[in-house]
Amino acid sequence: MRKGYLMTELKALIFDVDGTLAETERDAHRVAFNDTFAEYDLDWHWSVELYGELLSVTGGKERMKFYVENYRTDDLRRSNLDGFIAELHQRKTALYNELLARRPIPLRLGIARLLKEARNEGLRLAIATTTSDKNVITLLEHSLSSDSVGWFDVIAAGDIVSAKKPAPDIYHYALKELGLKAENCIAFEDSKNGFRAARDADLRTVITPSDYTRQEDFTGATLILDHLGEPDEPFTVLAGDVGDARYVDVALLRRFDSI
């Protein structure tokens, strides 16, 4: 570390959920959307490929509205389309939660280790996501541990802000609730929309691209890694300077101040 450099103390880590904590999109969110469409006898179906395109729109309700406007224009004639989409989304959320409980999705490499270490080191934890808070809670309870929701000081989720990612609002909200400045926090994201949201809230960001976001452009991110890594399964650095680190730990994150 450079001598005489005025350090900004690292106080909190803020995590995105879908794609960052776990690969939830293809085999969980997408499946829950399709099961909902089938229950409602809709001839809507989101293939793995189409869902990748639809992910450019964040938020399940917003995504369904975009789908109708661009692929199902006949359905634009439905009376109270927004109300219908809200009803579908409620059912989708219930099915998604059942799915996460029945078949937990594993957390991505390094996530559980880093969360535990950060707590032990006195860092605070927060969530900033587009998905609904119920989905976050169920994922944490079933894929991390039954008490892990309590590890997070703030769960900023879903409709708590009206402008979803790529707008920075959800990060502004999380920072306000934490009572911290952006310079004291680091965000973790997997998508371009999430990166733009964090960047526009002035946060340094670690990107771990996910199955659907590997081709996206993350120019300007503090670090881009294939995953957070483990001592016996090191990450591959896609961009950024990690010195001789092989996995993301608190010591590496604290070093960002001097990079």
Q: Where are the alpha helices (DSSP H) in 121-191?
A: 133-143, 169-178
Write down the catalytic residue from 18, 169, 190, 249: 18
Q: How far is the CB of 58 from Mg ion (least distance, A)?
A: 8
Start-to-end CA distance of the chain, whole Å, equals 8
Judging by beta carbons within 10 Å of its beta carbon (0-12, 13-18, 19+), is residue 221 exposed, middle or buried?
Answer: buried
Write down the catalytic residue from 16, 169, 190, 249: 16
- Residue nearer to ligand XBP on the CB measure, 12 or 252: 12
- Residue nearer to ligand XBP on the CB measure, 139 or 252: 139
- Residue nearer to ligand XBP on the CB measure, 18 or 249: 18
Q: How far from chain centre, in Å, is Cα 85? A: 23
- Give, to the nearest 10 degrees, the angle between helix 81-102 and helix 60-71: 120
- Give, to the nearest 10 degrees, the angle between helix 30-39 and helix 81-102: 120
18 is catalytic: yes
The answer to whether residues 185 and 12 touch, using CB atoms and an 8 Å cutoff, is yes
The answer to whether residues 111 and 230 touch, using CB atoms and an 8 Å cutoff, is no
- Residue nearer to Mg ion on the CB measure, 125 or 245: 125
The verdict on 165 binding ligand XBP (CB under 6 A) reads yes
The enclosing H or E element of 95 equals helix 81-102
d(CA 180, CA 151): 17
- Contacts to ligand XBP from residues 19-58, by CB under 6 A: 19, 25, 29, 58
- Contacts to ligand XBP from residues 186-215, by CB under 6 A: 191, 194
Tokens standing for 15? 């995590």
d(CA 53, CA 122): 39
138 binds, among Mg ion, ligand XBP, none (CB under 5 to 8 A by kind): none
59 binds, among ligand XBP, Mg ion, none (CB under 5 to 8 A by kind): ligand XBP
- Contacts to ligand XBP from residues 125-144, by CB under 6 A: 129-132, 135
153 is catalytic: no
- Residue nearer to Mg ion on the CB measure, 21 or 252: 21
Q: How far is the CB of 73 from ligand XBP (least distance, A)?
A: 22
The verdict on 18 binding Mg ion (CB under 5 A) reads yes
- Helix, strand, coil shares, percent, the chain, to 5: 45, 15, 40
Which residues of this protein are in contact with Mg ion, per CB under 5 A? 16, 18-19, 190-191, 194
Please list the active-site residues.
16, 18
Which residues of this protein are in contact with ligand XBP, per CB under 6 A? 16-19, 25, 29, 58-60, 129-132, 135, 158, 165, 191, 194
